[in-house]
Structure 1
Amino acid sequence: MLYDRSNTGQIILVTGAARSGKSEWAESLAQKSGKSVIYVATALENADDPEWQARLEKHRRRRPAQWQTLWVPYTLCNTLSEILPPHCLLIDSLGTWVANGLDQDEMTWEQTTTQLINSLTQARVDVILVGEETGWGVVPAYPLGRTFRDRLGHLIRQIGGIADEVYLVTGGYALNVSCLGEKLGTTFNN
């Protein structure tokens, strides 16, 4: 499907493995935009999990103080439609957002992701999204793990198909794969 993006911002996808530096790279891109940055955290805070809270705090400390933070674990589409220029949205992370929606049945999930793609293509601000690459390891031995991996992989591919730039962060390097590779179609059989 082709989207008219003449009145919209830029879409940038930053993907990579755990601890690869993808969030740091996305933050540097947001900083370089020269725009007012709104950091969209998709995580759910959990006071009963000190290790998770420490991870969130590490991200918090790394961000510039003037960045606004929104906690949006579910309703990314609303946020994308509400924010107006001259902002830059940094959404971190798609994997956490997918995990938050694992209770949705397949039909509802497909509607959710379709709404997200449509919202991204209509966003009037630059949007930088951070997404994990999960499919490079073993196939999870349990159904929910496979659902997560498949949903996230499919979503990353869909967003990559509409993105202006796609970066893969690995081995201490951010590679602009949108310049190095050839874009595949955005639709495929699961």
Structure 2
Amino acid sequence: MSKTNPPLTRTGAILVTGPARSGKSEWAERLARDSGLAVTYVATARLDPDDAEWNTRIDAHRARRPAEWQTCEAPTALVAALAEHDRAGHCLLVDSLGTWVANLLEVDTAAWQAEVEHLLEQLGRTRAPVILVAEETGWGVIPAHPQGRLFRDRLGALTRQLGPRCAASYLVSAGHAIDLSRLGIPID
């Protein structure tokens, strides 16, 4: 591990966020690998028999994972997966929160808020270090369609709630990870 990579601790999750194709998953995988802990990769994506390009993306993520990493598929049941795989000497890598949000877009606002609260509570109870990968989607134009705006707003609000609760937060852009916890100023 390089001097710039913090060791994973039991004091909180690590949030890794960034735009598409920025290297955020690779950075999260590096943090997990460098931890020296057994890793469970919590995948929120599901294969789609009608979308070959999507399946190719999933296959690329699978191909990068070390063979000894366990994989848990949790497209919607993220909180249950974190609880089930929480154990000492283990690291959980969730990739990605954006896909999880997309998988739950059909739930109403009250049900979504309950999911977020359950996730925050579970992260507070989890003994294993957790690395959370999330997409940054709000840097462009406001989506023209209601579902796009709902997705962007839910994911943005979720990462904003997670950031202060995490031991470290990284922004990955253009293949570089920036430690927001050290360089940023928290917003109340």
The TM-score, its normalising length taken from structure 2, stands at 0.92
Find the partner of 1:140 among 131, 143, 146.
143
Find the partner of 1:68 among 61, 70, 73.
70
| Partner of residue 86, structure 1 | 89
Aligned-partner Cα distance in 1 for 2:114–2:12: 23
Q: Is contact 1:101-1:109 (8 Å) kept? A: yes
| Partner of residue 170, structure 2 | 167
Find the partner of 1:36 among 38, 41, 48.
38
Q: Is contact 1:8-1:122 (8 Å) kept? A: no
| Partner of residue 109, structure 2 | 106
| Partner of residue 60, structure 2 | 58
Aligned-partner Cα distance in 1 for 2:11–2:167: 10
Q: Is contact 2:48-2:55 (8 Å) kept? A: yes
Aligned-partner Cα distance in 2 for 1:114–1:8: 20
Is 1:151 aligned to residue 145 of structure 2? no
Instruction: Give 1:47 shift.
Output: 1.8
How many residue pairs end up in the alignment? 179
Amino acid at match of 2:171: L
Instruction: Give 1:78 shift.
Output: 1.1
Q: Name the SS for the 1:53 alignment partner.
A: helix
Q: Name the SS for the 2:15 alignment partner.
A: strand
Over the aligned positions, Cα root-mean-square deviation in angstroms equals 1.2
Q: Is contact 1:42-1:91 (8 Å) kept? A: yes
Identity across the alignment (%): 54
Find the partner of 1:22 among 24, 34, 43.
24
Instruction: Give 1:172 shift.
Output: 2.1
Amino acid at match of 1:163: C
Q: Which runs of 4+ in 1 moved over 2 A?
A: 7-10
Instruction: Give 1:171 shift.
Output: 2.1
